[in-house]
Structure 1
Amino acid sequence: MRKLILTILTFVIALDALAQVPVKLQNDTILKRLTNAPLSDTIAVPSIEQPLLLGQSLLYKLRLDSIKQTVPLDYNEYVQSYIDIYTKRKAMYGDMLGLSGYYFPIFEKALKSYNIPTEIKYLSIVESSLNPHAVSRVGATGLWQFMFGTAKAYGLNMDNFVDERKDPVQASYAAAAYFRDAYEELGDWLLAIAAYNCGKGNVQRAIDKAGSRNFWDIRRFLPKETSNYVPAFIAAVYVMKYANAHQIVPKIAPFAFKTDTIVVRNFVALADVAKAIDQKEETIFALNPSYKKKIINGTAIAPKRLVIPKTGYQYYPQLFEVLNNDLEMDREVILASTDDVRDLRKKTLPKREIPQPKLIVHKVLPGQNLTAIANQYKVEVQDLKVWNNLVASTIIPGQKLKIYPDTVSHKMLPKAKPVLVNYKVKQGDTLSSIAEKFDGVTVASLKQANGLKSAKITEGMLLKVM
């Protein structure tokens, strides 16, 4: 009987494999979705009040086992529920199969650089449906749905010209760094995936409550969205791998061509680039979604990346002319504060008034020199020179000198010096959550300042924050 069952299972798997033959791509365009950037809710994980009691389908379990690599792809009724939901979204998954041909190689390169399993790339399916302009109800943005604070903690830049959360390359490396830290702290890939949704601190607290490091054991102690997030990820991997078995047809992506990357050191409009190489502006913007004004704000000190379709030599003269023609415009870079809806709801604190320096006018007495006057007011000779535009140290009796005794530098208002802060790690703290509490601090800078080789920290540890 056992041999008969094994024979039947082998036959079923063989038939299933035959069903995985390539399907001819259908012509379609989704440029509009990739170039329009309205605020759109990106909750891609539908809520399941009660899992469908379908029992454990042996076929689905065998399929998941066959595609498992490093990340566990457990099968249960929760995973089956999301498989049932996602396999009905044939058009959406057809779009994503087409887009994956462009985005997945970018993701894989970033993940490999941090030694992260390549299966993590499928998390972008759940996060953003491969839409770089996706924005959630609370402000999570881009292909990898970074919140503002976490993005800054992992080195992404957001200002009036650029939002690097929408940059496929930059955001992918930041996501890979996050997963490296999460895995180092939690020691399990499913837990790291859960942490990406709700934060490492929430996962650690769930571990402590459950007394287990198994996701399915701690699931009931996690936020509701996170408890559904991991089974949704496993289902997304399944549907992307077994799309043909569910009559999901890949659609041709707008990026069905090879691309080149150019380093730009000037302010250049994407529209001018498109015209120079005979492409639609929407195509160039879709390849460069992080430029909010559709202008590349490159400089010699901080060059920027431009991605274009691989083009013929006949377009080179026009392209070089555009790239070397620096746009005349307001170049002030204004760093973004936050777009986290939870932060914006908080009451804004009243602005602190900057104290003005106290001015004293000193009349030089006979026999006085700059050194004596500087000692009298406890300031520096160099300060006296700067305040009074003195080229030499010579002064004469009766001369009036401006003195700002409350300042400590030669400037009218003292510039704050970098301050070293000792931070005591509390329960539930992570490097990323600590970095979010301090302006200009990143996970990388915390590691460097404290000589940390990994992101693992313990309660009570003292960290240097600069």
Structure 2
Amino acid sequence: MKALFKILLIIGLTCANANTKQNLNINQVDILQSLDIPQNFTHTSYYKDMKKSITKRQIDDFVRVLRAGYKYIPILKTSVKSSGLPEPFFYLAMVESGFSNKVVSNAKAAGIWQFMAVTAQAHGLKIDKYVDERRDPIKATNAAAKYLKGLKSQFGKWYLAILAYNCGDGCLRKAIRNAGTDDLTTLLDPNAKYLPDETRRFIIKILRASIIAKDSEFILSRDANILSTQGQKLTRVSVPGGTTLKQVGDSVGLSVKRLKEENTHLNYAFTPPNSKNYHIYLPESKLSIFNENFKPIQSNNKFYTYTVKKGDTLLNIAKTSGVSHKAIKEYNELQTSIISINQKLIIPRSDRNKIQSYVVQNGDTLEILSKRFNVAIKDIKEANALASNDVLAIGDNIVIP
């Protein structure tokens, strides 16, 4: 009886393994078909070598990158799916940046999708002194989808869109012209070198990542849950332009440092002051408390850029601009009061902080100027760093807050 049970158990396990392998093979074919790659590509040395390279170390590296980018995965997977891109394009972002919004390539490509500035702006992303939307996970993904669809329309196949995304459409057109075909196996020929080495490796890396995600060892691991769109999510909220992250953070109980990590598309710790409204990202768990506690401040605040000159100190700049020392540090994310020549500082400016230059005339006193401009004597003295016994001299340049 025991012998019979063992035989049945072995048969059952064998069938299970066979079914698992069969399902994996079907998944691999589906991956190729989704990218318009012919099924016979599985018989090439490129594909076989790629399959052999999937070791435990490769799977561990795959998991490590997923763990590092876990907070972006729900956004990216949802955006890729809703945009109509094949699933493997999710792994294009993984290969490009490791799901890091802070990566900048030697060629100055930035963000999860590693956009060059010109390409990003051509597809609707804003890049200025206040924001770099290449680092905005939703807007950049939508722009990447638009770009990739355009490449697909131009070349007719998804795998060609991947190649063009890496090397450029001009480079790919030249490669196809030289090869006399757009066949992937031919284009990957390492001896003919129709494509740059990096581009040939690029598509293989995307295929390998897509296949690892369907690998039985990975699927059975607890880390497979990271790929679920049900994980920790970021949510987008709208706030007035010029809103500081500190204002938002105080309303939801998060530090400016934490919010800055979630909003790497902001160049400073505030939203663009030249926009009526702008969006920031919060952990979804904070949405209800944000809606309850955050009180938007609609103001006409504007900002200007000040270039530090020789002899400037943060205190003097604060007095001259009429903006508090603390506010300048906050807006520029300064940890100390140390500043350097030619450093650019963002100075917030509002009606109550407006100043004007004034040249002291014969007979002027602090009391006379106080009455003339309806400004308290102490405010004039503070703005000009005057001591209590300072006397105004004819011809002196002072500021009136």
TM bucket by the smaller chain? 0.5 to 0.7
Number of corresponding residues? 282
2:91 aligned with 1:122, yes or no?
A: yes
The aligned amino acid for 1:186 is F
Aligned-pair Cα RMSD in Å:
3.6
Deviations 1:12-33 (A, max 9, x none): 343558xxxxxxxxxxxxxxxx
Equivalent residue, structure 2, for 1:38: none
The aligned amino acid for 1:189 is W
Deviations 1:232-279 (A, max 9, x none): 1100111233273498652998x9534442212231222332232112
Equivalent residue, structure 2, for 1:70: 34
Aligned partner (choices 227, 234, 243) of residue 268 of structure 1? 243
Q: Distance in 1 between matches of 2:252 and 2:75?
A: 24
Q: Distance in 1 between matches of 2:27 and 2:18?
A: 8
Q: CA deviation at 1:125?
A: 1.0
Equivalent residue, structure 2, for 1:307: 281
Equivalent residue, structure 1, for 2:258: 283
Equivalent residue, structure 1, for 2:171: 202
Q: Distance in 1 between matches of 2:36 and 2:92?
A: 14
Give secondary structure in 2 for the equivalent of 1:146.
coil
2:17 aligned with 1:12, yes or no?
A: yes
Map 1:388-403 to 2 at 5 A: none
2:243 aligned with 1:238, yes or no?
A: no
Q: CA deviation at 1:102?
A: 4.4
Deviations 1:371-419 (A, max 9, x none): xxxxxxxxxxxxxxxxxxxxxxxxxxxxxxxxxxxxxxxxxxxxxxxxx
Give secondary structure in 2 for the equivalent of 1:137.
coil
* Contact 1:91 1:248 (C-alpha < 8 Å) held by counterparts: no
Give secondary structure in 1 for the equivalent of 2:165.
helix
* Contact 2:79 2:142 (C-alpha < 8 Å) held by counterparts: yes
Q: Distance in 2 between matches of 1:201 and 1:82?
A: 27
Q: CA deviation at 1:79?
A: 4.0
Deviations 1:339-397 (A, max 9, x none): xxxxxxxxxxxxxxxxxxxxxxxxxxxxxxxxxxxxxxxxxxxxxxxxxxxxxxxxxxx
The aligned amino acid for 1:210 is A
2:176 aligned with 1:212, yes or no?
A: no
Map 1:154-233 to 2 at 5 A: 154-220=123-189, 221-233=194-206
Using the TM superposition, name which of 257-266 and 7-16 deviates more: 7-16
Distance 1:154 1:86, change over 3 A: farther
Distance 1:166 1:211, change over 3 A: same
* Contact 1:90 1:248 (C-alpha < 8 Å) held by counterparts: no
Distance 1:258 1:12, change over 3 A: closer
Q: Distance in 2 between matches of 1:251 and 1:112?
A: 18
* Contact 1:79 1:232 (C-alpha < 8 Å) held by counterparts: no
Using the TM superposition, name which of 159-168 and 113-122 deviates more: 113-122
Give secondary structure in 2 for the equivalent of 1:65.
helix
Distance 1:287 1:226, change over 3 A: same
* Contact 1:131 1:143 (C-alpha < 8 Å) held by counterparts: yes
Structure with the bigger RCO (C-alpha within 8 Å, sep 6+) is: 1
Distance 1:296 1:215, change over 3 A: same
Distance 1:86 1:169, change over 3 A: farther
* Contact 2:69 2:98 (C-alpha < 8 Å) held by counterparts: no
Distance 1:9 1:180, change over 3 A: farther
Map 1:25-44 to 2 at 5 A: none
Distance 1:300 1:193, change over 3 A: closer
Map 1:314-353 to 2 at 5 A: 316=291, 318-320=293-295, 323-324=296-297, 330-331=303-304
Q: Distance in 2 between matches of 1:137 and 1:180?
A: 26
Q: CA deviation at 1:219?
A: 2.3
Which protein is richer in helix relative to its size? 2
Q: CA deviation at 1:291?
A: 0.6
Give secondary structure in 2 for the equivalent of 1:227.
helix
Distance 1:239 1:100, change over 3 A: farther
Q: TM-score, normalised by structure 1?
A: 0.52
Q: CA deviation at 1:129?
A: 0.7
Deviations 1:20-57 (A, max 9, x none): xxxxxxxxxxxxxxxxxxxxxxxxxxxxxxxxxxxxxx
Q: Distance in 2 between matches of 1:241 and 1:332?
A: 51
Show structure 2 runs of 5+ residues with no match: 1-11, 307-401
Q: CA deviation at 1:112?
A: 4.9
Distance 1:270 1:95, change over 3 A: farther
Show structure 1 runs of 5+ residues with no match: 1-6, 18-58, 334-466
* Contact 2:130 2:272 (C-alpha < 8 Å) held by counterparts: yes
Distance 1:300 1:222, change over 3 A: closer
The aligned amino acid for 2:180 is G
Distance 1:249 1:68, change over 3 A: farther
The aligned amino acid for 1:215 is L
Equivalent residue, structure 2, for 1:151: 120
Give secondary structure in 1 for the equivalent of 2:279.
strand
Q: TM-score, normalised by structure 2?
A: 0.60
Distance 1:206 1:298, change over 3 A: same
Q: CA deviation at 1:97?
A: 3.2
